[in-house]
């Protein structure tokens, strides 16, 4: 039973992390579902994944697609579910031109720090979903290593301010905190 105000749900691909996080919040009450994935018109399979996530949300939930995640978290209100941190961070890295840069642009770290501060001060219930990327092999590309390192650091910072942290493995939750 999850009882904290701030919960981070981690997991690998197809681990069940999103569904588990959704089940932590009441289906019959208002929830703001922050969908961080950006739709790409040239990728029908990605759009189908986004549509499948949207279709399984309860009718009373409101979907929010706003990249200013720190602002949304600070606003409080209804319980908030953020799915997921990996696609949010990808958008930040895209917008900052980090893939082509020799160093991670400082704005990326500042935005992540702002989000962590907002989560720490969040006045209401929040559930964050993120990919756990630190269990695999070292990526062969600079972009892969950059993403893994930045998401790992963001996950660790978020875990530090969350009341509860769970890791989903093969659909089973392991309580880390």
In the numeric block, the tokens 């756990």 are attached to 132
The CA distances from residue 93 to 22, 99, 144, in Å, are 26, 7, 12
53 is catalytic: yes
Query: Which position among 6, 17, 32, 53 bears the catalytic label?
Result: 53
3-state secondary structure of 90: helix
Sheet of 6-11, strands arranged across: 62-64, 32-35, 80-83, 126-131, 6-11, 164-169, 172-175
Query: Which residue(s) pair with 167 in the sheet?
Result: 10, 174
Q: Which of 13, 17, 18, 29 is nearest to 176 (CA)?
A: 17
Residue 11's beta-bridge partner residues? Answer: 131, 168
Catalytic residue ranges: 53
């Amino acid at each position: 039973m999850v009882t904290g105000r701030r919960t981070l749900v981690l997991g690998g691909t197809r681990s069940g992390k999103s569904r588990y996080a959704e089940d932590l919040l009441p289906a019959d009450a208002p929830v703001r579902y922050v969908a961080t994935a950006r739709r790409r018109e040239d990728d029908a399979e990605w759009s189908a994944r986004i549509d499948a996530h949207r279709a399984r949300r309860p009718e009373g939930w409101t979907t929010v697609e706003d990249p200013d995640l720190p602002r949304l978290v600070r606003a409080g209100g209804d319980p908030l579910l953020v799915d997921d941190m990996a696609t949010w961070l990808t958008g930040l890295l895209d917008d900052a031109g980090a893939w082509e840069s020799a160093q991670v642009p400082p704005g990326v770290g500042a935005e992540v720090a702002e989000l962590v501060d907002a989560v720490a001060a969040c006045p209401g219930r929040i559930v964050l979903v993120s990919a756990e990327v630190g269990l695999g092999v070292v990526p062969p590309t600079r972009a892969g290593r950059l993403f893994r390192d930045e998401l790992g650091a963001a996950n660790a910072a978020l875990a530090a301010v969350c009341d509860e942290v769970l890791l989903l493995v093969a659909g089973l939750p392991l309580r880390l905190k």
